[in-house]
């Protein structure tokens, strides 16, 4: 293993079993914000992030320029909804993070298409200890590539190094794989749901869950 390795973990479907639940309350929040007849298949949007989807629907339906206040309103409402739900971990998530965090050669950060407050709540709910500078979300960056770039920069600053010898993105979705490929990062897939399409698009390393995760 390289001396300085960075692991970038996605959250939904990778560390927390929240994909379907989050999709459901995402739709509820959009309706509560007054949006109607929007495309709820978020895989069909150019960027699979909270901020892009909300801003795109806002731009299309209200003919307004992108404004951060719509994201703030969305974040407040969806946080209220997610706090009413029970968050479960992907099997082995907490223990794996605890083990990896003890290695002097490994740095860990989290990059997600979710907005900050819900991402923070998900990690806290499954007992993962982290600092805020380990977390990169979509409040400002609509594109996943830019979210991962932000996470990498934060990790470099935290480690006080100019680069990592190896960077591995860990995720469950095709957008996670494509982002890693676009940034020329190694990738490890998690879970059965998207395994077939991930394999078809070049995934090499995969684990059913995080119980036996290794790099």
Q: What's the 3-state SS for the chain? A: CCCCEEEEECCECCCECCHHHHHHHHHHHHHHCCCCCCCCCHHHCCCCCHHHHHHHHHHHHHCCCCCHHHHHHHHHHHHHHHCCCCCCECCCHHHHHHHHHCCCCEEEEEECCCCHHHHHHHHHHCCCCCCHHHEECCCCCCCHHHHHHHHHHHHHHHHCCCCCCEEEEEECCHHHHHHHHHCCCEEEEECCCCHHHHHHCCCCEEECCCCCCCC
Q: Is residue 215 part of a domain?
A: no
Q: Which two tokens stand for residue 62?
A: 């209200």
Do residues 129 and 54 both lie within one domain? Answer: no
Residues 101-145 have pLDDT tens digits of 999 999 999 999 999 999 999 999 999 999 999 999 999 899 999
The CA distance from 48 to 33, in Å, is 20
Domain-terminating residue out of 82, 100, 118: 82
- pLDDT, average across residues 53-65: 84
In a domain, residue 39? The reply is yes
108 lies in the same domain as 181: yes
Residue 100 in any domain: the answer is: yes
Q: Are 78 and 112 part of one and the same domain?
A: no
Claim to verify: residue 51 and residue 107 sit in the same structural domain: no
> For residue 214, is it within any domain?
no
* Unique residue bearing structure tokens 């309350």: 25
Residue 52 lies in a domain: yes
pLDDT band at 62 (very low <50, low <70, confident <90, very high): confident
> Given a cut of 90, is residue 64 above it in pLDDT?
no
Which structural domain range is residue 100 located in?
Answer: 5-18+88-207
Half-sphere exposure of 85 (CA within 13 A, CB side): 23
Tally of structural domains, the chain: 2
Q: Which sign does the torsion angle of CA 147, 114, 90, 94 carry?
A: positive
Is the Cβ–Cβ distance between 6 and 101 less than 8 Å?
Answer: no
Rg (CA), the chain: 17
- Please report whether residue 212 resides in a domain: no
pTM of the model: 0.95
CATH code, domain with 176: 3.40.50.1000
- How far is the CA of 26 from the CAs of 42, 98, 100, in angstroms? 10, 30, 32
Sorted by sequence, the CB contacts under 8 Å of residue 39 that are 6+ apart come out as 45
Q: What is the per-residue pLDDT for 43?
A: 85
pLDDT of residue 3: 76
104 and 201 part of one domain: yes
Same domain, 162 and 105: yes
| pLDDT tens digits, 142-153 | 999 999 999 999
Residue finishing a domain among 82, 105, 127 = 82
Task: Among 52, 82, 112, give the residue marking a domain's end.
Answer: 82
96 and 61 within one domain: no
In angstroms, the Cα distances linking 211 to 58, 124, 207 are 40, 19, 9
State whether 107 and 201 are in the same domain: yes
Residue 213 lies in a domain: no
68 and 142 within one domain: no
Per-residue pLDDT reduced to its tens digit, 35-48: 999 999 988 999 99
If asked whether residues 101 and 198 sit together in one domain, one would say yes
Q: Answer whether residue 65 shows pLDDT above 90.
A: no
Q: Same structural domain for residues 98 and 157?
A: yes
> Is residue 101 domain-shared with residue 49, that is, in the same domain?
no
Phi, psi of 169 (to 5 degrees): -95, 130
């Amino acid at each position: 293993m390289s001396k300085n390795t960075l692991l970038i973990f996605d959250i939904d479907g990778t560390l927390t079993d929240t994909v379907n639940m989050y999709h459901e309350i995402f739709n509820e929040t959009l309706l509560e914000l007054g949006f109607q007849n929007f495309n709820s298949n978020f895989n069909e949007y150019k960027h699979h992030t909270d901020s892009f989807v909300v801003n795109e629907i806002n731009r299309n339906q209200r003919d307004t320029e992108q404004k951060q206040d719509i994201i703030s309103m969305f974040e407040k409402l969806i946080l209220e909804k997610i706090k009413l739900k029970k968050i479960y971990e992907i099997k082995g998530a907490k223990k794996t993070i605890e083990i990896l965090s003890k290695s002097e050669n490994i740095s860990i950060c989290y990059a997600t298409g979710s907005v900050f407050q819900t991402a923070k709540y998900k990690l806290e709910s499954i007992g993962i200890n982290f600092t805020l500078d380990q977390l990169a979300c979509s409040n400002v960056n609509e594109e996943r590539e830019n979210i991962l770039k932000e996470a990498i920069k934060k990790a470099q600053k935290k480690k006080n190094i100019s680069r990592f010898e190896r960077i591995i993105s860990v995720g469950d979705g095709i957008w996670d794989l494509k982002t890693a490929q676009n940034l020329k990062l190694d990738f490890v897939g998690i879970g059965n749901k998207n395994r077939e399409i991930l394999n078809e698009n070049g995934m090499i390393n995969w684990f059913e869950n995080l119980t036996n995760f290794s790099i």
